[in-house]
Chain A
Amino acid sequence: MSGTVIATHGLRKAYGAVRAVDGIDLDVRAGDIYGFLGANGSGKTTTVRMLLGLVLPTAGTVEVLGRPIPKAAREVLPGVGALIEGPAAYGPLSGTANLSLLDAAGPGGSRRTRKARIAEVLEQVGLGGGGKRAVRGYSLGMRQRLGLAGALLRRPDLLVLDEPTNGLDPQGIHEIRLLLLDLHRTGTTIFVSSHLLAEIEQLATRVGVLDRGRMVLQDDLATLTAPTGATVVTTTDPAQAARVLGDRVLTSDGERLVVRGSDPAEVNTALVGAGVPVTGLVLQRPTLEEVVLAAATGSGDRVAA
């Protein structure tokens, strides 16, 4: 698999007067962990639903794995695993029975291998012992894991996960992150939406930021958080350091100075040579949060008067 895995052009969805998604051009490539970031209500779930043919776009096109959606949904979607706005299952049935029904409900899930695949994915998501129990008795975290198991059942080339860590505790979030990184290593492309910056920052190789239905940013994480050309110095004698470096000091804040120059070693030499004690020295990189705040304008939930 190579090239573009998800491509949308001018994708728009209007619910009456509300523009839930307003002309976005997604570009997700094979091998990406694409972090789809946006505040609550910014249009992430609506986008995911359009990728899966559940919601029909008001305008624009969707291509997944090189084929148009919803037209080629029957050929494409068996190779896509999805979590959409939280898990769902039949409460009276066991986790195993739920997975079995889901697998049988569409094309591309061989009956012969079904049992083995179910056992394998339950193990993979950490539900190995819980498969026999009725889903009614599951915690939210267990349901989320079961949903993820359903997404993995056919070893998909592409995972589309809408807020996959909702309802999980920190330990569970960590486990899921490791699982996704593992799947990524074995060649799965992952599209994951979240309203949590930190989560995306720890996981994604590529980031798209949605702000009230509009895409305000889309780039590789490494590019977005590339060094700014400045060095951050921490010292116990900031006054002396400022005198030594003169107008190279861009900003100072207590013991922390931001200094022009992309070579920390050179800055260090200058300071130490003048007898200034240096306790910390690092290349300045913007955090994803800074990049996103600079691009976005506010919380999607906020309703203007």
Chain B
Amino acid sequence: MIAVELRKLFRRPRTWITIALLNSLPVLVAVLLKVTDLAPRPGEGPAFLSAVLTNGTLFPLAALAIVLPLFLPIAVAVVAGDSVAGEAQGGTLRYLLARPAGRTRLLVAKLVAIVVFVLVTVVIVAAVGYVVGTALFEVQSLGATTAVSGTSLTPEQVAGRTLLSIGYVTISMLGVAAFAMFFSTLTDSPQLATLGALAVLIGSSLLFTLDAASDIAPYLPTRYWLSFVDFFRDPIQWRNVARGLGLQAVYVVVLLGAAWANFTTKDITS
């Protein structure tokens, strides 16, 4: 069943178009930086971008930071929002369940496929970022990379912490996926499910900037998304990362539980 869902997802042209589009923005940014030589000052613009002109190996992280606020969650919301509602709209859901695929199994298989999609997407963004970054910008072959906190990191440390960041960004996206998947079991319209998840994220981002919402800020799903920057402090600051992981876990468990409760008891009339 999981293999079936993976085949469906990755044989679909749309999946690859989404991933390609997602990579176009960081590549465009890299080209513009190269041509103009105008990097944002430290502390401005997307994280890590100020440093890439002098160290191309940091560009995978800059690429992640560039797609993280909007492009990546949109891609995840589209795929996860489509998961159940897309099958309902196309009529294939009734045939899958009459096969019988099993409602819980189907949901789990969809979830695994989405996780794989997120991971593949994030890894491709980082890989394309690495290729583009090292091709266009200087690479400090011997020297150390300067950590956000000012001390130096060896290339091995940078590689390891980049992997940690990839994992953290993937997990951050699972919260988005859980929202979209839950909505996807509520409606037969994949567009509606995707929009619902995006509305949650946009609302969350907006509230985060509002002082009046500071009491609920720690619980907003987007609150700790950028905390992967903390992997590049010396030593690594785990506090926000751990909170981010905990928060995503709660969202994922609650929303997927709700999705399961709804999907396993509902009439399939699509």
Which A residues contact B (CB, under 8 angstroms)?
49, 52-56, 73-74, 77-78, 80, 82, 84-93, 97, 101-102, 104-107, 150
* Min distance, Cβ B238 to any Cβ of chain A, angstroms: 42
For A89, list chain B residues within 8 Å (CB). Answer: 92
Q: Is the CB of A78 within 8 A of B269?
A: no
Q: Is the CB of B90 within 8 A of A88?
A: yes
Assuming the contacts A104-B4, A106-B100, asked whether A93 and B11 have C-beta atoms less than 8 A apart, the reply is yes
For A84, list chain B residues within 8 Å (CB). Answer: 94-95, 98
For A56, list chain B residues within 8 Å (CB). Answer: 265, 267
For A73, list chain B residues within 8 Å (CB). Answer: 100
For B96, list chain A residues within 8 Å (CB). Answer: 102, 105-106
Q: Is the CB of A54 within 8 A of B98?
A: yes
Q: Is the CB of B269 within 8 A of A106?
A: no
Q: State how many residues of chain B have any CB contact under 8 Å with chain A.
A: 24
* Min distance, Cβ A140 to any Cβ of chain B, angstroms: 13
Question: A-B pairs with the 8 shortest C-beta distances?
Answer: A88-B91, A106-B99, A54-B268, A77-B100, A52-B98, A55-B267, A105-B101, A88-B92
For B95, list chain A residues within 8 Å (CB). Answer: 82, 84, 88, 102, 150
Which B residues between 101 and 127 are near A, CB-CB below 8 angstroms?
101-102
Name the residue on B nearest A109 (C-beta): B99
For A93, list chain B residues within 8 Å (CB). Answer: 11
Q: Pull 26 A–B residue pairs with CB atoms less than 8 Å apart, ordered by A.
A: A49-B94, A52-B97, A52-B98, A54-B268, A54-B269, A55-B267, A55-B268, A55-B269, A56-B267, A74-B100, A80-B98, A82-B95, A84-B98, A88-B91, A88-B92, A88-B94, A88-B95, A90-B8, A92-B13, A97-B11, A102-B96, A105-B96, A106-B100, A106-B101, A106-B102, A150-B95
Q: Is the CB of A74 within 8 A of B7?
A: no
* Min distance, Cβ A188 to any Cβ of chain B, angstroms: 17
B99 interface neighbour in A55, A90, A92, A105, Cβ under 8 Å: A105
A82 interface neighbour in B8, B12, B98, Cβ under 8 Å: B98
The answer to the question of B261 belonging to the interface, with a C-beta cut-off of 8 Å to chain A, is no
> What is the CA–CA distance of A189 and B25 in the complex, to the nearest angstrom?
58
Name the residue on B nearest A46 (C-beta): B269
Q: Is the CB of B4 within 8 A of A101?
A: yes
* Min distance, Cβ B205 to any Cβ of chain A, angstroms: 34
The answer to the question of B3 belonging to the interface, with a C-beta cut-off of 8 Å to chain A, is yes
Q: Is the CB of A78 within 8 A of B4?
A: no
Q: Is the CB of A90 within 8 A of B92?
A: yes
Name the residue on B nearest A84 (C-beta): B94
Assuming the contacts A84-B94, A92-B12, asked whether A54 and B101 have C-beta atoms less than 8 A apart, the reply is no
